[in-house]
Every structure is written in C-alpha cells, then in structure tokens.
Chains A and B, each alone.
Chain A
Amino acid sequence: MALAFHRAHFAVPVACLLLVGCVLPLALLLVFSFFEVDLDAFTMVPAFSGQSWSQIFTNPVFVFLIGKAVVSGAGTAVLATFVGYPIAISMTRLPALWKGIASIVLLTPLYTGEIVRIYAWRVVLGSEGLINAVLQWFGLVDEPLKFLLFSPFTTHLVLLYNNLPFMVLAIWISAELIDKRLIEAARDLGARPLDAFLKVILPLTTPGLAVGAFTVFALAAGDMMTPSLLGGTSGATPMAMIDNLFGTAFDWPLASALALSLLVVLFAFAIGFATVLLRLNGARAVFRRGLK
C-alpha cells in the first residue's frame, strides 16, 4: 500500500507535465477551432461556430493534403522497413566493437541539421550534381535527369534517408533481445533459415518493427521542410498550410481545426499500423511475456 502510494506520488509531476505540455495545448486548439476571427480588430471571438470544421470536411484541398501526408508517411515507413530490417539484423551479428562503430555511422547524419542534409542532397541529385555528372561522363545519359531533384521521388528518398536510423535502431534493439538459443533450437528441430526467420526472428522483432514504423510514419508525415525544399511543385503539405493560416491569414480557428484533424488522422493510422504489426504471429503475447 505504502509502495503504491509512493509510486502514485512520483506519478504526479509526470502527470502535471503531460497535462501542461500535451493536453492543455490540444484543448486550447480545440477551443480555438470553434472561434471566429474579427478581422477589424484582429482578435478571435468565442462564437462557438462550426464554420472551420465544416470547411475541413467540405474542402477537397484539406482532405487531399491530409491524405497525401498519410500516404507519404506510410510509404516512407514501408520503405524504411524493407531497407532498415536487413541492416538491423546484420548489425546484431557484428562483433561488439563493430556494433559500436556501426551505430555511430548510423547516427552521424542526425547530428547535422536538416537544412544541411537537404542542401547536400541537392548537390548530389541536381542537374549539375554528382549523379548526373557521373551518368553523363559514362555516356549513359545525354541530358541531366531532371526527376532526380524536385520530384516526389526526391522527397521520399530524403525522407527515407532522414528517418532510416530510427527504424534501424528500433529493430536492432528488439533483435538484440532475442534469446539466441531459440534460433538454435529452431535450427536443431530442422527449420530452414527462412523458416527460422519467419517463425522466430520476425515475430520476436515485431515490437521493434512497430515502434520503428510508428516513429518513421509520424516523422515523415509531419515533415514540412523536406517536401518544400526538395519536392518542387509537388511539395505542398498540410503543415505548410497550417503555417500560412496561423500567419498572414490570421485564421487561427481554421488552422486549429486543420491541425487537430491532421493529428487525429495520423494517430489513427499510426496506431492501426502498429496494432496490425503487433498481432502478427502472436507477437503481442511474446511482447507481453517479455515485459513481465
């Protein structure tokens, strides 16, 4: 009883922090979304109006932009899974020293700012950039490949590059926790390498996969800078629109409604995605056992 009281005691500051840092701003956004703007005095009026919400549901641009963010985030998460999984599993087989070196190599790009990475990619992918220069030098193309920069391809390549470390780290940690004797037992019982992977390694790394997918999805879907600076004319994002609405347009109610809609949709997709993964091959049960 005393222990429980102590635990509850410690939970109070955390709960306060969550309340002030997360719940309160969201509650404010919800309240603002029912306001109207008086452009004569540049103030928000508590009108309890559903005008902003009705715009969100009836204007196809909002639906399109939110849908685009979901597809972009999910696409990046899937790509990161396919690229990151083999890297993470390979890292578990390295000697301890090399594991350290590999993790530093993996994390180094994150120490540079996003803008630096974006401009570095421009140097690599541009019309006069490294890849086009090499292709032209070998005579493989006559003209620079324009789609390498300012296209959805570029956006997703860089979103993948920026977010891959989060996926690899999550899977790697999960894979490191697997009891190697389980894999040996499977092999001893006659499982082929593919069977051992599908029936032992994959289910046991699913929690890491879910965490990685959740993280990459959220980061990619919410990224404004990469699509804006590398997506060319296809770089519109709901975040940029929210920024415009809060800024020059001074339409805080509509911006609040859009921000909340985006948050709800992204959360619904992210949780759905992670739930499906956790249900794969009874991984949830394994995960629960692991937590006990």
Chain B
Amino acid sequence: MMAGSGITRREVLAGIAAGTAAGMFGSLSSARAAISEMVWATWDSNGHPEYIAAFEARTGVKVKLSYLSSEDAQFAALKTGTASDWDMINPSLNGSWRYIKAGLLEEIDMGKIPNAAKMYDVFKTTPKVLDASGKHFAVPYLWGLNPIVYRKDRFESEPDYTTLFNEKYKGQLAMRDYALESIGIAGLVAGIPRDKVFLMETKELAEAKKLLIAQKPLLRTYWQTIGDLTNLFATGEVSCAFSWRVPYDALKDKLSMGMAKPKAGIMGWCDCFAMPATLSPEKTEIGYKFIDYLLGADFATQIAKIGNYATTSSIIRDSLSKEQQEAIFVDDMDVMKSFMWPVAPANYSEWLKVWNEVKAS
C-alpha cells in the first residue's frame, strides 16, 4: 500500500499498464482515423482542385496539393528526406530511373490498379518505370507532345527541325535553354537515329555541338520558361521555336499560330505517379485508390476539358469529339510510332559540358 493513499502498488502498476495500453490503441486508432487526407506532390497544371473533386467526394479523402517547382527539387527533397509529408509524387518518365536507382520509391502492385488495363500499349510496356529485375515502381498517367510552335503567317510550309537551323529565318527562332532537348534536336538534324539520340557519346556530341554553335547567331534567344516563350511569341520577337504547346493554346485566337509535329521524332513528355518508399501501409491503400482514379474516366475527362492533356488510358477516347481528340493528340494514334522520350543519359555531365561550351562560344 502506498503511504497515505489507500491504493496498493499493484493497483498503481495495473493502472499504468492499462493507461499505456489505452494510449497505444488510442494512437493506433487515431492514426487510422487521421488518414482522411493525403498529399499529392505534382505540377500545378496537373493538380487543379476540380480534377480531384470526384475522388474526394467518392472516398472522403481530402487530397492536399503540393506544387512542384522542378523535378530536380522533387528528387532532392525525397533524397534529403525533407518531403516526409508527400504520399504521392510525380516523377517524369524520363527521370524515373533516378528515383528507382536511388531506392526512393515503393514497389507498385499493378494488380491493384484495375484501370491500368485501359492504358495505351506504349505506356503499359515501357521499361523506363521498372527496375533491373522488372518490378514496377512508377506508372505513366499523363502525356503530351513538345512540338514546334510557329507563326503560320510567316512560314510557307510546316517547319521541321532543320528549320531551326536555317539561315533564312535568322532572328526569328528560339530554342529551349535545356541541354537534353536542344542537343537531342541537333543530333536528329545531324542524322542520328531517334532511338540513339539520347545515347550519344563524345563523337556524336561533337557533331551536335558544331551544329548548335552554327545555330547560335540565328537564334533570337534561348527561352527559359514556357511563360517566357509565350511572351516572346506574343510580342513578335520569335516566330518559330521548339516549344511546349502552351504558346499555341494561349495565342491561337489572337495570332495565326501553328503546331508542327516533326517526322524525325516527336519529343514526348510523360508524367508518372509513384509512392515514396517510406509510405505507411494505410497510406499505400489510399494511394492505390488514388492511382486508379488518375487512370480513370473522371480525371481524364476533367484534364482533357480544362488542361488539354491526355491521360495514358484510352478510357474516354472514343467518347470525345474529333476536335477534342485532335486537341490532346489522340485523334491519330500513329503519332505514337514517332515518339521519343528524352532521357537524361548516364554521361549527362558531358552533355552539360557541351551545352555550356555552346552557350559560352
């Protein structure tokens, strides 16, 4: 018995044990109850609140959006552990291998994603989201093309990549300030086959460098952001550029804009979803529901309607009008035969060196 209290030592110990147990179960049950929200790290263009409203209504899980500033920042945040609140992330198809090699991703069980069956083959079978043993770590969900955008009133015919190196258009051209795509385009112009372009070694890189140095005086500038390039088109500084589709969409009602898809190889972009390796089992369950939603009809409809983007699933394709299909590049599926996916190669430092030599020349 404890002095002055009338409570035995045994009763106190039992009370402590009961309290601890209650606390543990309490925290477990509150952890389960707390999973009423998840955080999705993505681009602002992929994560408008209206795109995910149907998922939230259906599951009662609130999706908090954390917008990315760059893929490098996303990789660095995961690598340094400063993104512990992210439940779903958005690596690119080009860059997924980095996350996989660095062991940052949770393995994905494709059997738990029914809508994956509707994915286009080119995305369903891509090896870029697998590790060396063939396990899945990311799934492509959104894609588009990076075309040549141009002013139709200033070009007699549809431009291709050689147009960007043509003296005739000096002062009207722009390239992106990005080693991978710009050197890749020079490689295509130099005659490197599209399946070898992102594997260029020293000798081929030297050829590309020569072309890029010769191209430099023809360019008005290297564009930095897509807003920057849209502004350049709008103010008449640039008439033709390797681009994203944004300037075309933004200006087509005001200027005579065109969008060319070069036959030599169309640079595609593709975003994947993936779950961080540190995700708890409870969060993983919700993650799978969300993944299936991103490949489903509701998300595809919203993002096609508002963002002019296609998902990697054919789930709504046939219900779209010809015009809507054309807007998101799914009217002619042959386009997929000329896709090329820019992938940062293992010798990317060498590419970067070439790019900086071009810019410093």
Write the residues of chain A forming the contact surface with B, with a CB cutoff of 8 angstroms: 39-43, 59, 61, 64-65, 68, 119, 122-123, 126-129, 146, 149-150, 228-229, 232-233, 235-236, 240-241, 244-251, 254
**A64 CA to B344 CA, complexed, in Å:** 26
B359 and A119: CB pair below 8 A?
no
Instruction: List 14 A–B pairs whose Cβ atoms lie within 8 Å, in order of A's numbering.
Output: A41-B101, A42-B102, A61-B360, A65-B360, A126-B236, A150-B220, A229-B224, A233-B222, A235-B222, A236-B360, A244-B355, A248-B180, A250-B98, A254-B349
Selected contact of A251 from candidates B70, B216, B236, B349, CB within 8 Å: B349
Chain A contacts for B344, CB-based, 8 A: 248
* Complex Cα gap A128–B237 (Å): 8
How many Å lie between the Cα of A127 and that of B233 in the bound state? 12
Nearest Cβ distance between residue B44 and chain A, in whole angstroms? 17
Which residues does chain B contribute within 8 Å of A228, judged by CB atoms? 177, 224
Among B71, B102, B352, B360, the residue within 8 A (CB) of A64 is B360
Contacts known (A241-B356, A249-B352); A232 close to B219, Cβ less than 8 A: yes
Closest 6 CB pairs of A and B: A247-B72, A236-B359, A42-B102, A232-B221, A150-B221, A128-B236
Name the residue on B nearest A243 (C-beta). B72
Inter-chain contact A122/B349, CB cutoff 8 Å: no
Write the nearest CB–CB distance from A141 to chain B, whole angstroms.
15
The answer to whether B235 touches A127, judged by C-beta atoms less than 8 angstroms apart, is yes
| Contact across chains for A247 and B70 when beta carbons are under 8 A apart | yes
Number of interface residues of B (CB under 8 A): 35
How far, in whole Å, are A91 and B272 apart by their CA atoms in the complex? 59
B101 touches A248 (CB 8 A): no
Q: Could you list 10 further interchain pairs (A-B, Cβ under 8 angstroms) beyond the known A42-B98, A244-B179?
A: A61-B360, A126-B235, A150-B221, A150-B237, A233-B221, A235-B221, A236-B360, A245-B352, A247-B70, A251-B352
List of A residues within 8 angstroms of B348 by Cβ? 248-249
A residues in contact with B98, CB < 8 Å: 42, 250
- Complex: how many Å from CA A43 to CA B79? 9
B237 to A233, Cβ gap below 8 A? no
A244 contacts across to B, CB distance below 8 A: 179, 352, 355-356
At the interface, yes or no: B231 with Cβ under 8 Å from chain A? yes
Closest approach, in angstroms, between the C-beta of A72 and any C-beta of chain B? 13
Q: Scoring B residues 187 to 223 as 1 if CB is less than 8 Å from chain A, else 0, what string do you get?
A: 0000000000000000000000000000011011110
Complex Cα spacing A235 to B180, Å:
18
Residues of chain A contacted by B224 (CB below 8 angstroms): 228-229
* Binary contact readout B342-361 vs A (1 if CB under 8 angstroms, 0 otherwise): 00101011001101110110
Question: Shortest Cβ distance from B140 into chain A, in angstroms?
Answer: 20
Inter-subunit contact B220/A232 (CB<8 Å): yes
Interface residue ranges of B318-361 to A (CB < 8 Å) = 344, 346, 348-349, 352-353, 355-357, 359-360
Q: How far is the CA of A254 from the CA of B171 in the complex (A)?
A: 35
Bound: A68/B179 CA distance, A: 21
> How far is A292 from B17 in the complex, measured between Cα atoms in Å?
71
Q: Are B360 and A126 in contact (CB under 8 A)?
A: no
Instruction: Determine how close the nearest CB of chain B comes to the CB of A99; give it in whole angstroms.
Output: 38
Q: Could you say which residues of chain B place their CB within 8 Å of the CB of A241?
A: 352, 356
Complex CA gap A42/B103 in Å reads 9
Tell me the bound Cα distance from A40 to B70 in angstroms. Answer: 22
Given A39-B346, A42-B101, A228-B177, CB of A233 within 8 Å of CB of B219: yes
By a CB distance below 8 angstroms, the chain B residues around A128 are 235-236
Residue of B nearest to A225 (CB): B224
| B228 lies within 8 A of chain A by Cβ | yes
Cβ contacts under 8 Å, A247 to chain B: 70, 72
* 1/0 contact string of B86-130 vs chain A (CB within 8 Å): 000000000000100111000000000000000000000000000
CB-based nearest A residue for B228:
A229
B171 — nearest CB in chain A belongs to which residue?
A146
Q: Is the CB of A233 within 8 A of B349?
A: no
**Assembled-state Cα–Cα distance A254/B346 (Å):** 16
Chain A residues whose C-beta falls within 8 Å of the C-beta of B222 in the assembled complex: 232-233, 235
Q: Return chain A residues, CB-CB under 8 Å to B237.
A: 126-127, 149-150
| Residues in B neighbouring A68, C-beta threshold 8 A | 360
Contact A65/B72 with A40-B101, A42-B102, A146-B171 known, Cβ cut-off 8 Å: no
Q: Kindly provide the distance from the CB of A150 to the nearest chain B CB, expressed in whole angstroms.
A: 5
Task: Given A126-B237, A236-B360, A244-B179, check contact A61 B353 (CB 8 Å).
Answer: yes
**C-alpha spacing A2/B179, complex, angstroms:** 62
Residues in chain A near residue B180, CB distance under 8 A: 248
> Which of B157-192 touch A at CB < 8 Å?
171, 177, 179-180
The complex places the Cα of A150 from the Cα of B171 at a distance, in Å, of: 11
- Minimum distance in angstroms from B244 CB to a CB of chain A: 17
- Enumerate chain B residues within 8 angstroms of A146, measured Cβ to Cβ: 171
Inside 8 A of A254's CB, which chain B residues have their CB?
A: 349
A263 to B346, CA, bound (A): 29
Q: Determine whether the beta carbon of B79 is less than 8 Å from that of A42.
A: yes
Task: Chain B residues near A65: list those with CB within 8 A.
Answer: 356, 360
Write the nearest CB–CB distance from A100 to chain B, whole angstroms. 37
How near does chain A come to B278, taking the closest CB pair, in angstroms? Answer: 16
User: Given the complex, which residues of A lie within 8 Å of B349, measured CB to CB?
Assistant: 245, 249, 251, 254
